[in-house]
């Protein structure tokens, strides 16, 4: 229970803090052209860290020593304020479903998972839209 509480705090912090970074970035990159009508996911990656909204060391195998693994998503088109879900699965069991806000017209966001020794094995993160449609699946392993 303690671990879940800790995890919840981490996720909460990320979801609160990230939009500020992302907003700045999005504001900087926002073109003046007509807004696209559909939500479009540009890039997704699992990585060792996200620094200034940029994923660092994208990989498919992460050492437990990193203590945390990140799933980064970059939406190239966000027509309106909406949400995305990062669903973290260990093997076929859902471990966490993280709701992240997306704001027009482009948005980058990420979620992270605290690692424990029992987390070694194959993982996947399903990135879905508000309705639960899978937009992308990232597969990776937690290793020694």
Partner 1 sequence: MNDFLANIRWQDVIDIALNSYVLFRFYILFRGTNVLRVLFGLAVIWFAQRLATSMGLIVSSWISQGITAAAALIVVVVFRNEIRAVLQTKNIRGILWELPKKQTTTPIEKIAESAFDMARRHIGALLIIPGKDDLGDIVQHGMQWQGVVSKEMLVSIFWPDNPVHDGAAIVRGSRIEEVGCILPLSTRDDLPSNYGTRHRAALGLAEISDALIILVSEEQGTVAITQNGRLKNIQNPATLEKRLRDHTSLRLGSRSNLLDERIEIVLASVLSIAFTLGIWFSITRGLDTLATYDVPVEYRNRDSAQEIVETSDNTVKLQLSGSRSLLRSISPDQLRVRLNLNKAAVGPNSFSITRDDITLPPGVILKDVQPPFIEVTLDITTERVLPVQVDWVGKLSDRLILTQARPDPATVKVIGASQYLDSLTTIYTEKVSVEGIKRSGSVEVGLAINPAKLRLASGEKRSVTVLYTAKERTPPE
Question: Which residue among 92, 117, 131, 133 contacts partner 1 (CB under 8 A)?
Answer: 92
Distance CA 21, CA 91 (A): 32
Contacts of 21 (CB under 8 A, 6+ apart): 52, 53
> Site for partner 1 (CB under 8 A): how many residues?
18
Distance CA 52, CA 103 (A): 18
Question: Which residue among 25, 40, 53, 124 contacts partner 1 (CB under 8 A)?
Answer: 124
- Do residues 87 and 128 lie in contact, with contact meaning Cβ atoms separated by under 8 Å? yes
Sign of CA dihedral 5, 11, 15, 21: positive
- Do residues 136 and 127 lie in contact, with contact meaning Cβ atoms separated by under 8 Å? yes
Question: Which residue among 2, 28, 37, 91 contacts partner 1 (CB under 8 A)?
Answer: 91
Query: Can you tell me which residue has the tokens 């949400």?
Result: 83
Task: Please identify, among the stretches 22-30, 68-76, 87-95, 110-118, the one whose residues bind partner 1 according to the rule CB under 8 A.
Answer: 87-95
Would you count residue 144 as binding partner 1 (CB under 8 A)?
yes
CA neighbours within 13 Å on the CB side: how many for 58? 11
Task: Please identify, among the stretches 21-29, 80-88, 100-108, 114-122, the one whose residues bind partner 1 according to the rule CB under 8 A.
Answer: 114-122
Would you count residue 139 as binding partner 1 (CB under 8 A)?
yes
User: What is the x/- site pattern for partner 1, positions 38-67, by CB under 8 A?
Assistant: -------------------xxxxx-x----
Q: Which is nearer to partner 1, 22 or 96 (CB)?
A: 96
- Name the site residues for partner 1 (rule: CB under 8 A): 57-61, 63, 89, 91-92, 120-122, 124, 137, 139, 141, 143-144
């Amino acid at each position: 229970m303690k671990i879940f509480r800790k995890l919840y705090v981490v996720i909460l912090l990320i979801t609160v803090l990230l939009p500020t970074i992302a907003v700045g970035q999005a504001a900087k990159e926002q073109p003046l052209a007509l807004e696209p009508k559909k939500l479009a996911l540009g890039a997704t990656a699992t990585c060792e860290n996200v620094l200034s909204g940029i994923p660092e060391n994208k990989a498919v195998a992460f050492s437990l020593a990193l203590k945390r693994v990140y799933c980064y998503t970059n939406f190239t088109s966000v027509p309106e304020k909406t949400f995305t879900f990062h669903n973290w699965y260990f093997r076929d069991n859902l471990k966490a479903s993280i709701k992240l806000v997306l704001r027009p017209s482009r948005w980058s966001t990420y979620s992270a998972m605290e690692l424990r020794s029992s987390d070694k094995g194959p993982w996947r993160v399903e990135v879905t839209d508000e309705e639960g449609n899978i937009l992308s699946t990232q597969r990776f392993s937690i290793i020694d």
